[in-house]
Structure 1
């Protein structure tokens, strides 16, 4: 079996049938791939819909567990997978019909640790954005890949992973936090010997009101800083290359600034971990001028930075009305 498609399922009764049907409307035999739906203690009708579809989608396997969150569901899916490669697909999204023949031909011929795919960002009515990776002649190392694609990496569904690569390197998802993709992707790319681009849109990511990324609360802010702290600790306390250190440091600084601005826009008060992480950050010479300037202001007076940006955002909202 070449591919396992893992679907974490929780409160997605409105979307799960479309997702599963997109995974089943494919152009390769069902013996070549499996669809694994992980029912993560979903309280809605999602499990019932999956069970109904399983009667006709013969390569759909359903695994139920008590609620452990997105990371826990992905880890369970990985444990149950049998494919040479694993694709973690969010169950409110979908993939192209009849795309797996093209994808699996590349998986079989290139044999890379990680494959990167193109995607659309969509709402229920339109395409908001589209991204297609550049074509490359041969696989590159994970660190080179990481350095050259910093702005567009951090959703797990953008990648197809060799299962042996994940298992051999104990690459599982950190449970109990949101935004786990931000922590997982740098870790995986640091280890990967080979990464390869699939330069075509295969995946459709749905931006919806109730999703984690659109529902900003104190926990969202806290978890993003928790991840930034973990990344800082890793690069400061373990042996990593200079290239990897610089890229990870920039990721942390960008996310610290971006998450504070996220809190500003949402009116969420900053948790105590923010000051802890900000205190650890140094104004490194390799950071670009804008990042250094903003980080200096934050370190000098975090409260003033928040207040000024909050005031500016309120004025901006009034002018837009």
Structure 2
């Protein structure tokens, strides 16, 4: 078995058929890969849709569990995976048709631990064809994972790369029991341990921009959970940086990018906090805790080109200064009324 595709699904009846259709419409023999849908306690017709598609596509199977969240569902999927490589895919996303064969050839030919590819933001299910032809795509040079982190402004999400299953399992990485941004520390941790990784500019993945995204939910409970999980990510990235430094890693581009990613989560927390109605004292406490994690003030945020737009520069200048930040919060909330 060459590949295991792990798809966590919770009340995904609106999109799961499109997702699965894109997975079965590939230039690979169906016996060479499995599609594992982990039904994470869905209460809609997700299960029935998957079972119905499984009747005509034997490589589709469903695993049932109580609702535990995306991370726990992915862990379950990995436990059941038997392919040489793993690909994580979200149930509301999909992939371009007939693209996996080329990527599998690259993975096997170079014996890669990780292979990243391009993603495209979409709003519907019509983008089923890659803009690149298999004949024209060329893989970048094979590098170790630390050099990969230092070279590429990598995405934190786990759906833009294939991982060798043996490497993944031996790395000791897993998804924590958190609701949000579990992959924010898993992805860099995984890459930091890779001996052979590469990237190919082949637009495979389709990221569906949802009107019901987590950034649109304004409930206090939701926001507090998001803040807690983002804070956990800040802590885990700090621990990863320190661990790499203690191990003798001297690639400053890689260490710097990890530091920037860490401070980016602080930036996101502040932006979301400003748009809420939560008392400013809670933000003060969070920012104080980030000081010991070298995440605030955000003095590294502008150190590399990833986030150097004029808007980022202005907001970072304000956010790093309490005498500007808290009056700005009050002013924004007054104007918003």
Contact 1:27 1:101 in 2 (8 A): yes
User: C-alpha distance in 2, partners of 1:78/1:17?
Assistant: 22
Contact 1:8 1:39 in 2 (8 A): yes
- How far apart are residue 203 of structure 1 and its match? 0.8
- How far apart are residue 58 of structure 1 and its match? 0.9
SS at match of 1:90: coil
* 1:142 paired to 2:145: yes
* 1:308 paired to 2:311: no
- Give unpaired runs (5+ residues) of structure 1: none
Matched residue, 1:195 = 197
Range that drifts further, 166-175 or 244-253: 244-253
Contact 1:119 1:203 in 2 (8 A): yes
CA-atom RMSD in angstroms: 3.0
User: C-alpha distance in 1, partners of 2:201/2:160?
Assistant: 12
CA pair 260-114 structure 1, distance change in 2 beyond 3 A: same
Query: Which residue of the other structure, out of 227, 230, 254, is the alignment partner of 1:224?
Result: 230
CA pair 301-8 structure 1, distance change in 2 beyond 3 A: same
- How far apart are residue 104 of structure 1 and its match? 1.5
- Give unpaired runs (5+ residues) of structure 2: none
Summarize the alignment of residues 210-249 of structure 1 with structure 2, pairs less than 5 Å apart. 210-215=212-217, 217-236=223-242, 239-240=246-247, 241-242=249-250, 243=252, 244-249=254-259
Matched residue, 2:16 = 16
CA pair 32-259 structure 1, distance change in 2 beyond 3 A: same
User: C-alpha distance in 2, partners of 1:227/1:114?
Assistant: 22
User: C-alpha distance in 2, partners of 1:193/1:106?
Assistant: 16
SS at match of 1:276: helix
CA pair 224-135 structure 1, distance change in 2 beyond 3 A: farther
Contact 1:2 1:83 in 2 (8 A): yes
Matched residue, 1:208 = 210
Matched residue, 2:158 = 156
Contact 1:71 1:176 in 2 (8 A): yes
Range that drifts further, 284-293 or 236-245: 284-293
Matched residue, 1:288 = 302
CA pair 93-284 structure 1, distance change in 2 beyond 3 A: closer
SS at match of 2:159: helix
* 1:181 paired to 2:183: yes
- How far apart are residue 235 of structure 1 and its match? 2.7
Matched residue, 1:58 = 58
Give 4+ residue runs of structure 1 displaced > 6 Å after superposition: 289-296
User: C-alpha distance in 2, partners of 1:312/1:40?
Assistant: 39
Alignment TM-score, normalising by the size of structure 1? 0.86
Deviations 1:14-48 (A, max 9, x none): 10011011101122111111100001111211111
User: C-alpha distance in 2, partners of 1:82/1:205?
Assistant: 26
Alignment TM-score, normalising by the size of structure 2? 0.82
